[in-house]
Chains A and B, each alone.
Chain A
Amino acid sequence: MLFTSFNFLIFLAVLVALYAITPQRFRWFVLLVGSMTFYGFAGLHFLIYINATIVITYLCTIKIKHLRLLRDAEIEKLNDLGLSQENLKEARRSLRDKTKRKAKGWTTLCLVLIIGILATVKYTDFAIENFNTILRLFNDTQQFSLIGIAVPLGISFYTFQTVGYVIDVYREKAEIVKNPLKLALFTSFFPQVIQGPISRFENLSKTLYSGTQINRHGLARGSQRILWGFFKKLVIADRLWPALAFLATHPEEYQGIYYLFAIALYAVVLYCDFSGGIDIAIGAAELFGVRLPENFNRPFYSRSIQEYWQRWHMTMYSWFRDYVFYPMAASKRMLRFSKASRRVVGNNFAKRLPVHISLIFVWFLTGLWHGATWNFIMWGMANGIVLMISLELTPLYERFNKHFPTLSNEWFYRSIQIFRTFWLMNFIRSFDIYDGVKNTFRMMWSVVANFSLNEFLTFGLSELKLSTEEYISALAGLLIVFFVSFLGRGDIDFRDRLGEIKWPLRYTLTGVVLFMTLVLGAYGHGFDARQFIYNIF
Chain B
Amino acid sequence: MGLTRGSLFTIYFKIAVAVIAFVVVFFTLQRLLVPKYASTAIEGGLIREYYNSPMNHDVIFLGDCEVYANFSPITLWEVYGITSYIRGSPQQLIWHSYYLLEDTLHFANVKPKMVVLNVMAMQYDEPQYEPYNRLTIDGMRLSLIKLRAIRSSRLEGEDYLSYILPFFRYKDHWQSLSSEDFRYFFRNPQVSISGFMIRSDTVPVEFIPDPIRLPDYKFGDKATHYLNKILELTKEHDIELVLVKAPVLWPYWFEQWDEQIIAFANDNDLLYVNFLHHLDDVGLDFTQHTFNAGLHLNVFGAQLLSGYFGGIISENYILPDRREDAGFSAYWEELTKQYKHLISKQLEEIKETGSIHSFLIK
Name A residues whose Cβ lies closer than 8 Å to a Cβ of B. Answer: 6, 216, 467, 469-470, 503, 507, 511, 514-515, 518-521, 524-526
Contact = CB atoms under 8 A, between A and B. Distances in A.
Contacts of B169: 524-525
Interface of B: 11, 14, 17-18, 21-22, 25-26, 29, 33, 130, 157-159, 161-162, 167-169, 171-172, 174-175
Interface of B is mostly: helix
Contacts of B26: 515, 518
A507 B21 contact: yes
A383 to B, nearest CB: 38
Best-buried of A503, A520, A524 by chain B (most CB within 10 Å): A524
Given A518-B167, A524-B162, A525-B169, A467 B175 contact: yes
Nearest to B10: A503
Given A470-B175, A519-B174, A526-B172, A6 B14 contact: no
A507 B18 contact: yes
Contacts of B172: 524, 526
Nearest to B175: A469
A192 B22 CA distance: 30
Contacts of B29: 515, 518-519
A511 B22 CA distance: 8
Interface of A is mostly: helix
A524 B175 contact: no
Contacts of A470: 175
Nearest to B177: A469
A442 to B, nearest CB: 35
Given A511-B18, A518-B29, A524-B171, 18 more contacts: A216-B11, A467-B175, A469-B175, A470-B175, A507-B17, A511-B22, A515-B25, A518-B167, A518-B171, A519-B33, A519-B171, A520-B174, A524-B162, A524-B169, A524-B172, A525-B162, A525-B168, A525-B169
Contact of B161 (A6, A469, A518): A6
Contacts of A525: 130, 157-158, 162, 168-169
A525 B170 CA distance: 8
Contacts of A511: 18, 21-22, 25
A503 B17 CA distance: 11
B290 to A, nearest CB: 34
Nearest to A468: B175
B177 to A, nearest CB: 10
B132 to A, nearest CB: 14
Q: What 9 pairs between A and B have smallest CB-CB spacing?
A: A469-B175, A524-B168, A519-B171, A525-B169, A507-B18, A519-B174, A503-B14, A467-B175, A6-B161
A241 to B, nearest CB: 15
26 contacts: A6-B161, A216-B11, A467-B175, A469-B174, A469-B175, A503-B14, A507-B14, A507-B21, A511-B18, A511-B22, A511-B25, A515-B29, A518-B29, A518-B171, A519-B29, A519-B171, A520-B174, A521-B171, A524-B162, A524-B169, A524-B171, A524-B172, A525-B130, A525-B158, A525-B168, A525-B169
A462 to B, nearest CB: 14
A266 to B, nearest CB: 24
A5 to B, nearest CB: 10
Contacts of B11: 216
